[in-house]
Amino acid sequence: MSPLLSTRPSALIVAPLIGALTAVSSGLLAAATAAVVLAASPAPTFAASPNSSPYAQASWYNKYLIVSSGTASLCSGNSGSMPQPPFGANVDASHECGSQSETSIAIDPANPNVVIAGSNEIQRLPMRAMVSADGGAAFTGVDLPLPPPRTSRGFDFGSDPGLAFDSNGVAYYSYIVVFFGAGGGINGTEMAVARSSDHGATWAATYFALQTGTAQFNDKPMITVDTGVGAGHHTNRIYVTWDHATGNSSSTKNGNNVLLATSDDGGATFSAPVSVSGPFTGRTGGIGADPYVAGDGTLHVAWQDYAHGAILDAASTDGGRSFASPRLIAHVAGFAFDIAAQNSRGALVYPACGASGTTLYCSYMDGSAAATNVFVAKSTDGGISWTSTAMPSGGDQFNQWLAVDASDGSVNVAYYDTGTHGSAAATYTLARSTDGGGTWAAIPVATAPTDETCCAPSVNLGNQYGDYEGLAAAGGTVRPVWTDRRAAVIDVGLREEVFVAAITPSP
C-alpha cells in the first residue's frame, strides 16, 4: 500500500503496534463474463472469511527503511527535479529523482486547465503535489507540509495521497503522517489535509485525529468534497475517510474500523471521527475506504472488509453524522493477490466509486494469484443491491480507479493490464462506458509497458506500483495518473515516475 498497511511487513515494527491484523487469502476468480446481482438485507450480517490469514507488513515500512538508510538513487541525490522529458502523449508529471508511486489526481471545476496530481515520495519524507496550469502539458512539483517530530531526534513522513477540489477552486490533499522516535519505532500517526487557494502553488495543512496509544494506527485516507447544491447537499463540505487499526483484529472487540471526519470551514478544522463500518459482532477488517456523494446529496463510503471477504457500502443522509447499516457490493476472494506483475508487494483489493445522479458505480478487483480482473458494480436503488460486470478481457488487471464525468454521465475506469495472465509487464489502460455501464470499450493509455519485477538498480521492489492509482474526468476530458517505469524512463536515469495523460474520447 502506500506507505499504508501493506500485505507483507515487518513484524518488528507492525506487530507490536497494531497486533495481528488479518487479511483474506486468495481464492478463485469469479467468471469474468457473468454479471451477478448481489442484494443485501436491511440488517445484513457477513460471515467471516474461512480463508483468512495473518498479514505482516505495513506498506509504508519500505519507505521507512529507505529514508532512514541514506541509500542514493540513480540521480546524484534523492531530491531534485529534472527538465520534463518528452514522452509524446504521456506526460512525466514528476520528472524527479528517486521513486514515486501511488497516485491521485483532481481537476479544478472552476478552471479545468488547473490539474493537480499527487504521489508518495519513496526516498523523501514529504508528500508531493504536481501542479499544472496549462491543461496538463507541463507540471511543477511542490512538497506538502509536515508537522515537527513528536520527540527529540525523531522524524515523520507522509503517505497515501488523495486529492479533491471544492466548487470555488480550492484544492485539498489528504494524507497520513507517521511519526518515528530516534530509535526508529513508531510513536504516533495522524491525519493531514492540506489546502491550496492558489492552484497548488502553496499549501497549508491541518492535522487531526492523532493516535499515540499502544496498538493504535490511522491509515489509508481518501477525500471528496460535496460540490452539489440544493436540497440534500452540504455544499463544499469536505469528507475524509480512513481506517483505524485497534488491537488485534481477531478480537471480538477490536479490529480495523472505517472512520470519517468532516469540515465546513475549508479544511481549517475537522469534526470528531464518526464510525462508518461498525459496530460489528466479531472481527472487523475495514481498509481502503472511498467516500463519494450521489446527486441527491447522500454520502456513500465503500471499503474492503477483509475479515469477511466483502466490498461494502454504507450511506449517510445527514452529511456524515450517522450511517445506515452497510450493504454488500460484492464478495471478494482475498485482501490482496500476488500476481506476477506485483509479485513482491501484492495487488491490494479496494473499491473506487462515483455517482451519476443517484446511480452508483464502484470498481474493484477480484481473482487469485493466478489471474485478476477489474469489475464495476452498479446500483440504481441507492446502494441496496448491486450488479457487477467485468471490464473487457485482457491479462491481470489491478490498481484501478473510477471517475464519472458529470458533464456527460460517462463512467471511466483506469487500471493496469498485463495483456496475458501471468505476464510481468503491464500497460495502464482506460475502460469507458457511455450507456450507464451497459457496454465497455478499453484502450491503452500508456504508450509503453512497465515491468516492476526486474532491472536493478532502478526498480523499487518494496513498493512497485503502490496500492492504487488515480483518475479524474470533467468536461469530456479524462485524466488518468499512474506509476510508470518504462524503458525510456530508465534510459534517462530516472526510476518510478508519475505519468498523466489527457484523453478526449469521441462522443
pLDDT in tens, 252-273: 445 688 999 999 999 999 999 9
- Tell me which residue has cell 471521527: 273
- Determine, yes or no, domain membership for 378: yes
- Determine, yes or no, domain membership for 30: yes
- Would you state the pLDDT for residue 43? 40
- Determine, yes or no, domain membership for 45: no
**In which domain, by residue range, is 55 found?**
14-38+51-500
- Determine, yes or no, domain membership for 354: yes
Dihedral angle of Cα 233, 406, 172, 157, to the nearest 10 degrees: 120
φ/ψ of 61, rounded to 5, equals -65, -35
- Would you state the pLDDT for residue 26? 29
Q: Which residues make beta-bridge pairs with 293?
A: 299
- Determine, yes or no, domain membership for 198: yes
- Determine, yes or no, domain membership for 7: no
- Would you state the pLDDT for residue 75? 61
pLDDT in tens, 169-227: 999 999 999 999 998 889 999 999 999 999 999 999 999 999 997 777 889 999 999 99
Dihedral angle of Cα 174, 343, 370, 471, to the nearest 10 degrees: 30
Percent of the chain with pLDDT over 90: 73
The domain that holds 19 is classified in CATH as 2.120.10.10
- Determine, yes or no, domain membership for 475: yes
* Number of domains observed in the structure of the chain: 1
**What is the distance between the alpha carbons of residues 164 and 174, in angstroms, rounded to a whole number?**
9
Residue 380: exposure state from Cβ atoms within 10 A (0-12, 13-18, ≥19):
middle
Strands (E), 391-468: 397-404, 411-417, 425-433, 441-444, 450-451
- Would you state the pLDDT for residue 254? 53
Q: Between residues 257 and 480, which one has the greater pLDDT? A: 480
Least confident interval from 37-51, 160-174, 269-283, 484-498? 37-51
Say which residues have a Cβ less than 8 Å from residue 141's Cβ, sequence separation at least 6: 81, 94, 95, 96, 128, 129, 130, 131
- Determine, yes or no, domain membership for 5: no
pLDDT of residue 305 exceeding 70, the answer is yes
